[in-house]
Structure 1
Amino acid sequence: MRITTFLIAISSALTSTSTAFAHGPQGHGSAAGSAHHASAVREQKDWGIAGEASAVRRTITVRMTDDMKFAPATITVTEGETLRIRAVNAGQVLHEIVLGTQAELDAHAELMRKHPNMEHDEPYMAHVEAGQRGDIVWQFNRPGTFAFACLIPGHYEAGMRGTITVRPR
């Protein structure tokens, strides 16, 4: 009886965690890179909040390439705008796009260097396999200058970064 109770407790603890640790195609949405944050909790961040697809009025396609560049590398939005950022991986290796403040991205990049197989799946990021695409739907509800980057070790250090300017209404 005690062993059964113990196994149930362990099983429950393992299935209730929300952090995963493997940086690869598993856990990053479908092979086509479709939106995979449908059940994501909407949490206010300094750079905005997860948006509702029904509120999107504009889609910006951002190409990611193996020369460690984003195109475009600058995006301008108006405060309150909900934007679909369509990340297209035109390269031969996995790339990602992660939105945040420069300080948040620097800290996350350091963590990725220490734990390169760490999986993370938040509504402000998209992990995209070679030749695929992924979407981020984000409401930019705070003005300021924010950043986006590929935090895969080596990519960030090679300059795979961009900026987002959110103009006040």
Structure 2
Amino acid sequence: MKTMQFIAACALLASASTSFAHGNTSHASATGPVIKEQKAWGIASDERAALRTLTIEMTDDMRFAPDHFTVKRGETLRLRVVNKGQLMHEMVLGTRASLDEHAQMMLKYPGMEHAEPYMAHVAPGKAEDLVWSFNRAGNFNFACLIAGHYQAGMTGRFTVTE
């Protein structure tokens, strides 16, 4: 009987731990409508508002290509995030401070699940779109915050001009 309880406890623990892992889900469809919360670097938008698409590739050499882009304030882009590698990667928009803070949390809790409209978690060989309205001028950042990737330099920046 103790063996059965042990097996049941292990199965429960295993299923609970997978619920914290990054997935390759479409954020809008997985969680319902996109929540449009103003951030320092902009706000989520609807697909129909995107007038152009910018493709950003992620590779296992821990780099983004391009690693910098410029948009005009008020412009809405579809960022097509493509994983060209064999590892899971992500692209998270933010400020240097918000990315540093999130990266520290990811080191402590590497399987942490989160799905925000400014994040794309992309499985190897797959692509995911972020639709973002860049409504605040300034210099901002993006990064892969999977434990070890950020620390290896998997970062980029974007500029929003007036």
Q: How many Å separate the matches in 1 of 2:97 and 2:19?
A: 22
Whether 1:61 and 2:55 are equivalent positions in the alignment is yes
5 Å-filtered alignment, 1:95-134, equals 95-134=89-128
Structure 2 residue runs of 5 or longer lacking an equivalent are: 1-17
Q: 2:138 aligns with which of 144, 153, 167?
A: 144
Q: 1:22 aligns with which of 20, 35, 38?
A: 20
Asked if the contact 2:55–2:79 (Cα under 8 Å) also holds between the matched residues in 1, the reply is yes
Q: Give 1:122 deviation, angstroms.
A: 0.3
Higher helix share: 2
Name the residue aligned to 1:86: 80
1:146 alignment partner, SS class = strand
Number of aligned residue pairs: give it: 142
Q: How many Å separate the matches in 1 of 2:85 and 2:71?
A: 27
Structure 1 residue runs of 5 or longer lacking an equivalent are: 1-19, 30-34
2:112 alignment partner, SS class = coil
Amino acid aligned to 2:154 = M
Amino acid aligned to 1:105 = L
RMSD: 1.3
Q: After the TM superposition, which parts of structure 1 deviate over 3 Å for at least 4 consecutive aligned residues? A: none
Asked if the contact 2:83–2:122 (Cα under 8 Å) also holds between the matched residues in 1, the reply is yes
- What TM-score do the two structures reach when normalised by structure 2? 0.84
Amino acid aligned to 1:140 = F
Whether 1:37 and 2:28 are equivalent positions in the alignment is yes
Asked if the contact 1:89–1:130 (Cα under 8 Å) also holds between the matched residues in 2, the reply is yes
Q: Give 1:21 deviation, angstroms.
A: 5.4
Identity of aligned residues (%): 56
Whether 1:155 and 2:149 are equivalent positions in the alignment is yes
Name the residue aligned to 2:7: none
Amino acid aligned to 2:126 = Q
Q: In the TM superposition, what whole-angstrom CA distance separates every residue of 1:108-132 from its partner, at most 9, and x where no partner exists?
A: 0000001001011000000000000
Q: How many Å separate the matches in 2 of 1:87 and 1:108?
A: 20
Q: In the TM superposition, what whole-angstrom CA distance separates every residue of 1:54-102 from its partner, at most 9, and x where no partner exists?
A: 1111111000000000000001000000011100000001000000011
